């Protein structure tokens, strides 16, 4: 019975990743069409829509580098995507694990598309509180973050079941 569970179809997981990519690219296209880089629109006292470009990684890591990081991050994302698809093909019957990997896959590919098309990632969600702003992010980043949290939860539950 466990062998059948691990051999579940990749299609649902790839479908989730495709939805993340689609939502990510649609929202970024809206920002690119309606806002200049650096524009900011206040939505609430803690939330702005901005147009920011990140040539780095999470939290603008390596943002100020000379451009080589673009290809490093594209390469890392491609390797990660191949590994994630392989993991999903082997463990697709594990629902929480599958959700986590599918969200990470969609987010990684969404940001790779930006790096290839624009040379940087389009970020547009900005949260702030009492003068401190969290680094801007996008739908892909959100999917990666939720996916990582689900991976941690999945592992915690796995450890708990093993006791």
CA distance 7 to 26: 32
CA distance 155 to 142: 20
Instruction: Choose among 22, 48, 37: nearest CA to 110.
Output: 22
Rg of the chain in Å (alpha carbons)? 17
Which CA distances in Å does 77 have to 2, 50, 91, 158? 30, 25, 20, 27
> Catalytic residue among 24, 39, 114, 141, which?
141
Is 123 annotated in the active site?
yes
Total number of residues shown for the chain: 163
- What are phi and psi for residue 120, nearest 5 degrees? -160, 170
> Catalytic residue among 24, 39, 114, 123, which?
123
Is 24 annotated in the active site?
no
Instruction: Choose among 115, 20, 107: nearest CA to 73.
Output: 115
Active site residues: 123, 141
């Amino acid at each position: 019975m466990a062998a059948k569970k691990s051999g579940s179809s990749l299609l649902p997981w790839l479908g989730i990743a495709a939805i993340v990519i689609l939502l990510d690219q649609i929202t970024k296209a809206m920002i690119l069409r309606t806002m200049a880089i650096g524009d900011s629109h206040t939505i609430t006292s803690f939330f702005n829509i901005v147009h920011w470009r990140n040539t780095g990684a999470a939290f603008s890591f390596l943002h100020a580098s000379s451009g080589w990081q673009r290809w490093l991050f594209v390469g890392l994302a491609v390797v990660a995507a191949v590994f994630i698809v392989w993991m999903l093909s082997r463990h697709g019957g594990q629902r929480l694990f599958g959700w986590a990997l599918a969200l990470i896959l969609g987010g990684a590919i969404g940001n790779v598309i930006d790096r290839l098309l624009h040379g940087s990632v389009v970020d547009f969600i900005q949260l702030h509180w009492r003068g401190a702003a969290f680094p801007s992010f996008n739908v892909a980043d959100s999917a990666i973050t939720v996916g990582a949290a689900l991976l941690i939860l999945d592992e915690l539950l796995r450890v708990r079941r093993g006791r």
